[in-house]
Structure 1
Amino acid sequence: MKHNKIPLYILLAIVLLNSIGFSIVLPLLPFLVGKYLPGQQVVVGMSTLLSIYAASTFFAAPVLGALSDRYGRKIILIISLLGSAVGFVLFGIGGSLWVLFLGRLIDGLTAGNISTIFSYISDTTDPKERTKWFGYVGSVMGIGKIGGPALGGLLGSISIALPFYITAFLIFVSALLVHFLLPESLPSYKRTQHVSLNSFNVFSHFNNIFSMKGVAILLGIGILFYMGLGVFQFNFTLFLKDVYLWTPTLIGSLLTLVGVCEILVRAVLLPRLLIRFPPKQIGIWGLLLLGAGLALILSGVYVHAVILISLAVVFIISGEGLFEPTYTGRLSETVDETQQGKLQGVNQSLQSLTNILVPLGGGVIYYYSAGWLYATATAFILSAIFIYTGRQAGSRLYRW
């Protein structure tokens, strides 16, 4: 079946605007929080803001996903984007710490944009093309990550609030694009027909999704993947600062490599590999690369070498870029359109849960030993590889 690709390109443009907006404000969050807290408490304030957002998303994403199965993707995506815009406007207004917390709470409670975007792609692509488009979404996010922080620093030098207003404006423009240009992907005859109080019970959605044959194992693999990757995402810059004594300039240069690698792998390498190899095989390669990259950082604790750390970054970002789209693609094939939003919402909710647990647990482990932290992360990925290959079960789940 052939689908009109124009809405997908519009969707990518929307993702790009959002990615640029979010990356603009990331470097400035510590400075904004520092206006309301003394220096030694800024890290606590930052952690609390991140935890509030992640916890809100954990409860909201499955509900918003289920509502998108009933009312369509378009309206939920607009609500999600407007919620983010309001959240960033509150950041710009500021005035006190509780306003920042309220902004993150509103943003988190309307955080259905990623799951809705993935549901939209699932609605409008054939299974054979779906993984490629999931990869394109990640590559577009990588484009935003390259230029956004530098732009944020420039705007922040004018006014600390200005980048947050700019981000809110970009997200608002995205909502307008959705309203006026993006057609609905889920026709009324394919939607769920009823909404009850139970539709707002996040745990009922978890119970429903995890009771589906094969889905629980696949989501379990995803949790292991996000736990291992999460260690790198939350700790790596701190690791470079503490262990390698790198300056912000050096760390920023290496993070630029992250964005470039993400674009090349997801937009260039992945589509070419999908022509020749099955998604499962590509996913296994991705996990192997990710595990190897984490093991290299583990080695870097004891053998200080820039080449070791640089290779680790390339392996980890390449592994993420190969596994995540194939995983999301496979996940989308386990249900039909009537439950796609709920499934993607549960998946986003689980990612938010790891965003809460990894910094908390990882911070404690890192306090005692950086080596143990990255050994734990490597173990998560090795476990995912073991389950993913499915040798012990021979389940049809793994025969893609």
Structure 2
Amino acid sequence: MTCANTWNGWRRTPSSPDAPPAARGAATTGPRDSRLNATHAPGARKAALAFIFVTVLIDVIAFGVIIPVLPHLVEQMVGGDLSTAAYWTGVFAFAFSIVQFFCTPIQGALSDRFGRRPVILLSCFGLAADFVFMALAPTLAWLFVGRLLSAATSASFSTANAYIADVVPAEQRAKSFGMIGAAFGLGFIVGPLIGGVLGDINHRLPFWFAAGLALLNFLYGLFVLPESLPRERRTARFDWKHARPMGGVRMLLEHPRIWALVAVVFIANFAHYVYPSTFVLFADAAFGWKEKQAGYVLAAVGVCSVIVNVALVGRLVKALGERRAMLLGLACGTAGFVLYGLAGAGWVFLIGLPISALWAVAGPATMALITRQVPANEQGRIQGSLGSLVSLAGIVAPALFASSFGFFIGPRTPVHLPGVAFLIAALLLATAAFVAWRFADRAQRAPGTDQDATAAGSP
């Protein structure tokens, strides 16, 4: 994967005479590719975004369905010990992130070379097959293999971000990324609710349901989802240089204007791993919540997230600007996690839900700031590189959170503190907020090098 445009203290736009042909093509919308015109026409752009919204929504529902039951299925397979289940849940998340670390930049490079649509379709079909595999897994080892397969095929989220960068003008991206956040929120309303109810019947039933959803998503994309990246805006060849995970990280280093924002993405996503690593087992240990109750709470988290993403992200970004909206979101996430960690009763935990939900403002604002600094023909690789970096966080974070949780509920702990993982996550978000406050203002003031290419395709 080649890095077409780089910054060395000066601006290089896709329409510059020394820019490579693939980048110069991004600034034109000739008749050679009708799909470029189609996805940038106002009505067609809305339709394309609706398609990608539904694609992400169905994918999130499929993932959300298994969240309330996977830790308890692991607990069942290890003999019912909660501390041992926490350890293996952390191992699962650790391995999941390692596979993603290697696979995500490859998927990003493939989407820049061959388009977003085939990568999304491959991801959906792979997930359907994987959920069937996990539904049939007879032992913990086979379930573990299933999670690795899931990690290798989960590319639709990072590719969806690149899809948005393809078709939405830079100044409107925060709102569009917010809609993807709303898809996540809505998916986590429906998914855990269904998973909790089905898991109450049988621990494996949610996996079959998730497999059906992923297959439905594949068929939906096959017949409905349009391509967003025309041929003249694709990279000339697939290059393993940036498809390698550390190559993707090096690509991020080639864009110094986004270093602070990349650090915020890394730290914030590190903190976010507290949810899949510990929440279900934490809810059981702290409040006695089983699959159904945990599903209800996760659904409430989804409701709050949808409200924030649909009703508040666009307004707050418009009123405060992207940088201040990012800071507000990180501050609210910090406060919410502190409440979670110190909650001695379930109702105290629930008070923190609407506060921590405002953290959702930070993600779209941060992503909008990053995409302003990246050329149009590098969006897929940047998103893949960010995904790889997030996976790198996921290699360490689950082990940290799960082991901390397991120790502070175990027999050797000096103090019983089930919420310790959330307190660690709060400290991390506070660190991300400081980095954003201290360094990210430079990224917002820098000229956006991909705006010209996007605007050229916009009427």
Which of 264, 273, 283 pairs up with 1:221?
264
Q: Deviations over 1:195-237 (max 9, x none)?
A: 2343542211211222212222211111222233333563445
The change in CA–CA distance for 1:363 and 1:23 in structure 2 (over 3 A counts) is closer
Aligned to 1:21: 62
Aligned to 1:331: 370
Tell me the C-alpha RMSD between the 2 structures: 2.6
- How far does residue 245 in structure 1 lie from its aligned partner after superposition? 3.7
The change in CA–CA distance for 1:94 and 1:35 in structure 2 (over 3 A counts) is farther
Counterparts of 1:378 and 1:154, CA distance in 2: 31
Q: Is the 8 A contact 1:218 1:331 kept in 2?
A: yes
* 2:298 counterpart of 1:258: no
Secondary structure of the corresponding residue to residue 392 of structure 2 = helix
* 2:432 counterpart of 1:384: yes
Percent of aligned pairs sharing the same letter: 28
Aligned to 1:247: 289
Which letter maps to 1:7?
A
Which of 117, 123, 136 pairs up with 1:74?
117
Q: Is the 8 A contact 1:54 1:352 kept in 2?
A: yes
Aligned to 1:146: 189
Which letter maps to 1:78?
L
Secondary structure of the corresponding residue to residue 184 of structure 1 = coil
Counterparts of 2:373 and 2:275, CA distance in 1: 29
Q: Deviations over 1:308-362 (max 9, x none)?
A: 433322211212x110111112122221221111111121222222223122123
Which of 15, 33, 38 pairs up with 2:79?
38
Counterparts of 1:23 and 1:394, CA distance in 2: 33
- Give 1:1-400 correspondences, 5 Å limit: 3=42, 4-33=45-74, 36-40=77-81, 41-156=84-199, 160-231=203-274, 234-242=277-285, 244-248=286-290, 251-298=294-341, 300=342, 304=344, 308-319=348-359, 321-366=360-405, 367-368=407-408, 370=417, 373-390=421-438, 396-399=442-445
Counterparts of 1:395 and 1:135, CA distance in 2: 21
Aligned to 2:24: none
- How far does residue 247 in structure 1 lie from its aligned partner after superposition? 3.3
Counterparts of 1:167 and 1:190, CA distance in 2: 35
Counterparts of 2:189 and 2:200, CA distance in 1: 19
Counterparts of 1:17 and 1:39, CA distance in 2: 32
Counterparts of 2:77 and 2:280, CA distance in 1: 24
Q: Is the 8 A contact 2:75 2:85 kept in 1?
A: yes
Q: How many residues are matched?
A: 393
Counterparts of 2:436 and 2:88, CA distance in 1: 38
Which letter maps to 1:267?
V
Secondary structure of the corresponding residue to residue 192 of structure 1 = coil
Q: Deviations over 1:379-398 (max 9, x none)?
A: 322222222123xx686314
Counterparts of 1:163 and 1:338, CA distance in 2: 39
Q: Is the 8 A contact 2:330 2:429 kept in 1?
A: yes
Structure 1 unpaired stretches of 5+ = none
Secondary structure of the corresponding residue to residue 208 of structure 1 = helix
The change in CA–CA distance for 1:247 and 1:306 in structure 2 (over 3 A counts) is closer
Counterparts of 2:74 and 2:277, CA distance in 1: 18
- How far does residue 120 in structure 1 lie from its aligned partner after superposition? 0.4
Counterparts of 2:255 and 2:433, CA distance in 1: 22
Task: Say which structure is richer in helix.
Answer: 1
Counterparts of 1:165 and 1:76, CA distance in 2: 23
Q: Is the 8 A contact 2:62 2:214 kept in 1?
A: yes
Counterparts of 1:15 and 1:372, CA distance in 2: 32
- How far does residue 154 in structure 1 lie from its aligned partner after superposition? 3.9
- How far does residue 257 in structure 1 lie from its aligned partner after superposition? 2.6
Question: Which deviates more, 6-15 or 328-337?
Answer: 328-337
Which letter maps to 2:379?
Q
Question: Which deviates more, 134-143 or 44-53?
Answer: 44-53
Which letter maps to 2:289?
T
